[in-house]
Chain A
Amino acid sequence: MKLFEYARAADAREALERFRPGTMYLGGGTNLVDLMRLGVARPDFLVDVTRLPYDTIDADGDGLRIGAAVRNSDLAAHPAVRERYPMLARAVLSGASGQVRNMATTAGNLLQRTRCPYFQDVSRPCNKRRPASGCPAIPGDHENLAILGHSEQCVATHPSDMAVALAALGAQVHVTGPASDRVVPIPGLHRLPGAEPERDTVLTPGELITAITLPPPPPGRSHYRKVRERASFAFALVSVAAVLDVDEASDTVRDCRIALGGVAHVPWRAERAEAALRGAPATEEEFVRAAEAELAEARPLPRNAYKVPLARNLIVRTLQELIP
C-alpha cells in the first residue's frame, strides 16, 4: 500500500479545508481500504469523515433525512425506515454481511466502486482505472456486467443494493463543496460510462456528501428482490426495487416505480416500464409487456445474455407479489 497521511475531520468545514489534490474522504473504509490494498486507489491523504455530525436519521415531517455517516446497519434497523420505507431496509439488509454493514456508511455505500474483476486487478488494462488503456471485460469475463447503458469503453455495473431502492424512492443527495452546496437526485448522481468511465458520478473533486433525503413514501406496496449466486453475502446478478399502487376498484395501476440493480453503470430507473404500466390493468400480461418494453433497449454481451430474461422475470414476479 502506498504511504499516506491520515487526519480526522470534526466537521464539514474542516474536511473541505483539508482537501487537496490526492486526498480521498474515508468512510467505513470497507471499499476504499480494500482498493488501497489492491493498489487501485492510491491517495496521498485520507480525511476521515466518519466523525462528522452526520450520524443521525431525522424522521420529523413526512420524509426522512439520513446523515452521510449513518452506518448501513443502523439505517436498516431504524424504526422509521422499517415502517415507512421497508424496501430500503430490505435493500440494505440484502447487501454485504453484518460486519460490513456495521462499518459501511451511507455516503460510502453510494460511492463504492464496481466489482468488475479487471478494475480490481492492477496487472490488467481497464479504462475506468487507467483511461484509454482498454476494456478487457468486453472480450473477456463480463458474466456479471452491464446489459443496459454501457459503452464501448466500459461495461461495468454499479454494485450497491441500497442505491437501487433510493433510485425507486426518488432520493436527493445533499452535497457540500469548495464552491457551493448542491442537491443531486438519484438517479442523477451516478452517470453512464460513455467515453469517461473513470467518472462514476457527477461529483467533482472535494465534494462531500452530507445527507440523503427521502420524499414521503410513495403510495402502494413495495419490495426489493435480489438474485445472486448464493443465498446470502453476494453481490446482485440482478435486483429490482418496485413500488406498485393499484386502484382496487378497477384493478388498474395508478402509479409504479421500478429500479434495477446489477444491469448498468447506474442504479437503473426503468422509466419505460413505468410508463407502460401507468393506467394499465394490473395483470401478469401487462407486467410482461412493461418489462419487455424496458429490456428492448438491452444490449447483452455474449456471456451475460442470461440477465435479460432474469431481469424480465424478476420484474414480473416482484410486481405480481405487490398486487393487493
Chain B
Amino acid sequence: MAEMTLRVNGSVRELDVDPRTSLLDLLRERLGLTGTKKGCDHGQCGACTVLLDGRRANACLALAVACDGSEVTTVEGLGGAADGDEPHPLQTAFVERDAFQCGYCTPGQLCSAAGMLAERGPSAVTADLTDDPPLTPEEIRERMSGNLCRCGAYVNIVAAIQEAAR
C-alpha cells in the first residue's frame, strides 16, 4: 500500500492505496464519486474523463499513486457553488440542447468539454497552425473525438458546447 494525498473537488483526501488502483477506481470505489463512468477502461471511450490539475485526462489510464499531490475535478465538482448545486454552464447547455439519451457518456463529455474550452492552440483540423481558431462545429468535433456516445447524440453535444462557449 502507498500513502497519497489528493485534492478532490476542493477537499483534501489522505489515502492509502494499492499501487494497482487506477484513479478511476479510486474515485468510484473508494471515494464514492460514481459520476465518473467506466466504459472501455482502455482510454478509447472517454467516459472516465476528469480534470487532473485542470487538464482533461482519462482516469482509467492514470494510476492513482501517480496522481499523489494532484487536484482532481470530477463531474460532481464541475458546478460553481460551494455546495455543488449550481450547474456549470455546460451542464445547463446539455440539458437545454438535449445533448444525451442514456446519459452514460455525459459526465465524461462534460469534463472533456470543460477541459477543452480551457485549451489553447490548433487542432488537427485547423488550417493555419499559427492561429487560435474560432470554435466552429468542425473544431469541436475534432477536439471532442476522445469522447464516444453510443446513442449518437453528437449533433446536440456539439450544439451544447458551442452554446456554452459563447
Contact = CB atoms under 8 A, between A and B. Distances in A.
A77 B121 contact: yes
A86 B147 CA distance: 26
B110 interface: no
A285 interface: no
A243 B105 CA distance: 41
Interface stretch (A28-36, A266-274, A305-313): A28-36
Interface residues of A, number: 37
Contacts of B68: 8
Nearest to B111: A99
Interface residues of B, number: 39
B145 A233 contact: yes
A97 B43 CA distance: 9
Interface in B42-67: 42-43, 46, 49, 52, 55-58, 61-63, 65-66
Interface in A1-15: 1, 3-6, 8
B66 A3 contact: no
B155 to A, nearest CB: 15
Given A34-B61, A99-B58, A93 B42 contact: no
A138 interface: no
A324 B45 CA distance: 40
A100 interface: yes
A77 B62 contact: no
Most A CB contacts (10 A, CB to CB) among B58, B119, B124 go to: B124
Nearest to B22: A33
A76 interface: yes
Interface in A30-73: 30, 33-34, 37, 46, 48, 50, 73
Contact of A98 (B2, B18, B20, B146): B146
Contact of B58 (A77, A93, A103): A103
Contacts of B112: 98-99
A99 B129 contact: no
B116 interface: yes
B156 to A, nearest CB: 19
A232 interface: yes
Given A29-B63, A34-B61, A233-B146, A93 B115 contact: no
Given A48-B66, A50-B66, A76 B58 contact: no
B58 A30 contact: yes
B159 to A, nearest CB: 19
A19 B41 CA distance: 29
Contacts of A30: 43, 58, 61
B143 interface: yes
B136 interface: no
B89 interface: no
A97 B62 contact: no
A124 interface: no
A106 interface: no
A97 B57 CA distance: 10
Interface of B: 2, 18-20, 22, 41-43, 46, 49, 52, 55-58, 61-63, 65-66, 68, 112, 115-116, 119-124, 129-130, 141-147
Given A97-B43, A233-B145, 5 more contacts: A33-B63, A34-B43, A83-B129, A97-B46, A99-B58
